[in-house]
Structure 1
């Protein structure tokens, strides 16, 4: 396996030399020092300054997320455009400042963008995080006819908000839509728990069995991602 990886690496470097007319002595270095030569070539010839700047920016945003906020605030001050407001709101969502996110999403909706599905669905998520379920219902009902709403996480959140407001039948109708095979594993587990809370044991069992069965066909990365969900589904099944 490692042998083929090295071959692919060499092949890419040689292709890059020919395509970008890099000095041909690089070919000899890559051929005679397969791993070291290829790594040196990639670092010095492929990994350019723009990549370095982009990586540096991303790292700084992870280490200091407020820097991204400040940069986006400056952009908005320079140009009070719809996209700049949305970008700033998105950044606030990323750091969990739902109140600020909603403020800029609402400003973005003013004018000709008042039916923007992307903005409204993010607002719905923010309102739910703040436990403002009435606002979730209000905004969700403004996009409920949009085809993107059906079988989406937004519809799932809408269903949860309906449950919190005591509208259990409506909640079930909307949560049920998220029960789609080979997707929404976390949400389907929540749906199964909702069914159990309503003493609908057989329906809940079906959902849990589907999750555990599908888990057997997951890729290794997905199994790692949904390991806790799969484990909890299996444990719940054992109790039924």
Structure 2
């Protein structure tokens, strides 16, 4: 518990400790742990470099590492890399209906592959989950003139918002407010 508090107060200490551990033992897991730590503190470029190095040294095509890389690529806006890596794991069961598939859909949209984007973004439309992503999806639908589909999702979001627990209302209150505002304009 003390080390967790230290890491919160001084996040670079965790990085330094993990770098020392990697220096002592150059292993796949130590490399991934370091990359995860970089991702946690928002150093996406170093995270990506370490994830790539972990993959290079590994025979396996690790879903976890690629999923984390896609998250980092999203943060820095590298849509081409998102598509390249997502296509390596899109047949994996955990890819389906995940945030990673959603990020893949967003990247496809930015690259002008709208039909593929819609197919991947629509997978995230699951009741009582992915509230933020579903709001983004409705904006996508509106941008391609699918007003009725967007309206259905917004109505569903607003309805779900009325049945949320207090912690979820705190977490997703802004999303629900945005959904209500957007629905009112349709």
- Say which of 175, 178, 186 aligns to 1:232: 178
What RMSD in Å do the two structures reach over aligned CA positions? 0.9
- Corresponding position of 2:71: 125
1:90 maps onto 2:7 in alignment: no
What displacement does 1:113 show? Answer: 4.4
Structure 2 match to 1:81? 27
Q: Which runs of structure 2 are paired with 1:1-240 in the superposition (5 Å)?
A: 54=1, 56-240=2-186
Residue 44 of structure 1 is matched in structure 2 by: none
Which structure 1 residue ranges, 5 or more long, are not aligned? 1-53
Q: Secondary structure at the match of 1:145?
A: coil
- How far, CA to CA, are the matches of 1:128 and 1:100 in structure 2? 14
Shift of 1:110: 2.2
Q: Structure 1 stretch 144-153 or stretch 102-111: which is displaced more?
A: 102-111
2: CA distance, partners of 1:109 / 1:198: 37
CA separation in 1, counterparts of 2:4 and 2:49?
25
TM-score (norm 2): 0.97
Structure 2 gap segments, 5+ residues each: none
How far the C-alpha of 1:129 sits from its partner, in A, is: 1.3
Structure with the greater relative contact order (CA < 8 A, sep ≥ 6): 1 or 2? 2
CA–CA distance in structure 2, aligned partners of residues 185 and 149 of structure 1: 18
Q: CA deviation at 1:138?
A: 0.5
- Is the Cα contact below 8 Å between 2:15 and 2:37 reproduced in 1? yes
Q: How many pairs are equivalent?
A: 186
